[in-house]
Chains A and B, each alone.
Chain A
Amino acid sequence: MSERLEVRKTYKLYVGGAFPRSESGRSYEVTDAKGKFLANASQASRKDGRDAVGAARKAFGGWSTRTPYNRGQVLYRVAEVLEGRRAQFVEEVSASEGLSRSKAETSVDAATDRLVWYAGWADKLAQVVGGANPVAGPYFNFSLPDPTGVVAILAPQDSSLLGLVSTIAPAIVSGNTTVVVSSYQRPLPAITLSEVMATSDVPGGVVNILTGDAAEIGPWLASHMDVNALDLAGIEDADLVRDLEVAAAENLKRVLRPAPGTDWTAQPGLERMTAFLETKTVWHPIGI
């Protein structure tokens, strides 16, 4: 009996609910922590970034007007599907980050739990960060959190799954849509996460995942006039951080600065959710 042929993998990007190749036609080799070849991944270009922003903008209207309760359900569903692929994620995280099997398991479980945790916040955020304001007049006065729009996320380079999930979930739970540039050296968990997103009720375009170099695509996203916020979690080079912040200032993007050495396993606060919110205040006359 003949030997089975090896299935060699060249992964694609995830844009607008579809899996296109990079517009540039480029790909790069992904290796494990020891330098052994794992797979080929598409290397996204600035034009892929542009397409992803277009897809995210298109998805924003539908996603942001869903009820928070429904968004929570969708996020929980993502956690369910991710849990179903636990073995695959453990293998990829273990190979990518060079972790022992048990440590990789802990990391994948933490990522699932993180999704569940954020899913629970979907319909509670408004009570915590919004509220009724006392005013000196015959009005009801409410402050309500609104999503800010399209968020560009330059995902953590080291924590390939937990860090990724911990940056995407807080952005989309409140109704934002995202363009994510994954870890360059460790993109496999991000690629599998895009397969999870595609099969778990998340509308196409809400999460767009590009594999490639954040230093190459980042400046185009930071200066893009149709991007509303920027998460610099994965950028370590201080000069690049400054350049990106300068570019982002042009249309007053909300910028979440990098926090080097962030412990992604620690319980997150509300900070990553509230960073991408606008506050809308409504005055309503009493008695009409």
Chain B
Amino acid sequence: MTTAVSAGNGAGSGDLAEATSSEASLRRFLHGLPGVDQVGAEARAAMLGTRSIKTTAKELAIDLAIRMVDLTTLEGQDTPGKVRALSSKAMRPDPADPSCPQVAAVCVYPDMVPFARETLGDSGVHVASVATAFPSGRASMAVRLADTRDAVEAGADEVDMVIDRGAFLSGRYQQVFDEIVAVREACARPDGTAAHLKVIFETGELATYDNVRRASWLAMMAGADFIKTSTGKVSPAATLPVTLVMLEAVRDFREATGQMVGVKPAGGIRTSKDAIKYLVMVNEVAGPDWLDPVWFRFGASSLLNDLLMQRTKMKTGRYSGPDYFTLD
């Protein structure tokens, strides 16, 4: 189903290369993107949120949502012990039930990466690290790049960078573009591989859906592997309409270039019900190809416990309580 908000962008990959060739052409391209119909986007997101997902479909959705969680701790009071505990939880979210899947990744600050790496080993759970002076991004470029290299050297599989919202909002798109490219280069490892790059927009500071759409295209053209809504430090964090706009962007980007980019809403997603609404939206807007932890993630901490409680309720037939799951 298409709506008034879908970006009817006919840009091919050749056009995109031209768009990024100069500051002026980049601006022309981003401002030439069709505007987002705010009312339409919000209505569509709300409508998709009313779908009723029950019984076996709900079981599948909950397990998929668990596999998509980036279990996150980004607090000033984090300790190696807390990161180890969280990593253990990531590998076995429900110790009482071996059939419970692992989460996708553990997301920590760069200095905590070695502890997460050590605990996770080769379990398959990735280590994601925020970098580039998270959450504000207010540091010199040299510091931000060093921060990124630090995280990659310490063993991070994925790097979550923040864009310079000040530069973006004042229209210095080329600067933001170049910074993403530079961070992407800093993600490279000596052996030729590279850490996955997630680009955080902090949509709560971007003010309009049009800006979210522009930021999405900007980041994708600069080579982001994932686009992520928020740091979780600013309210509002992830919302359904913002994620809808981003999902449309990755869909249109694939149509234009054939490349798939992942989406990660983060912050404010606390209940299974919310998570399932996002999954419905992923399926309806981007398509079923994105219903995979490789292409869609939830940045969350308390969400996991609610998913586990729902899962236990479905297995045992009785309501579970927070006493039976770890505090984190």
Contact = CB atoms under 8 A, between A and B. Distances in A.
Interface of A: 50, 53, 57, 220, 223-227, 247, 250
A233 B66 CA distance: 41
A223 B320 CA distance: 9
Given A226-B320, A226-B322, A247-B318, 12 more contacts: A50-B319, A53-B319, A220-B318, A224-B321, A225-B318, A225-B319, A225-B321, A225-B324, A226-B319, A226-B321, A226-B323, A227-B321
Interface in B256-297: none
A166 B323 CA distance: 30
Contacts of B318: 220, 223-225, 247, 250
The prevalent SS among residues of B at the interface is: loop
A226 to B, nearest CB: 3
Contacts of B321: 57, 224-227
Contacts, number: 26
A224 B321 CA distance: 8
Contacts of A225: 318-321, 323-324
Nearest to A49: B319
A223 B318 CA distance: 6
Interface in B285-328: 317-324
Most buried by B among A50, A224, A247, A250: A224
Contacts of A226: 319-323
A222 to B, nearest CB: 9
Most buried by B among A220, A226, A247: A226
Nearest to B312: A225
A206 B64 CA distance: 36
20 contacts: A50-B319, A53-B319, A57-B321, A57-B322, A220-B318, A220-B319, A223-B317, A223-B318, A223-B319, A224-B319, A224-B321, A225-B318, A225-B319, A225-B320, A225-B321, A226-B319, A226-B321, A226-B322, A226-B323, A247-B318
Contacts of A224: 318-319, 321
A49 to B, nearest CB: 8
A252 to B, nearest CB: 12
B326 to A, nearest CB: 15
Contacts of A247: 318
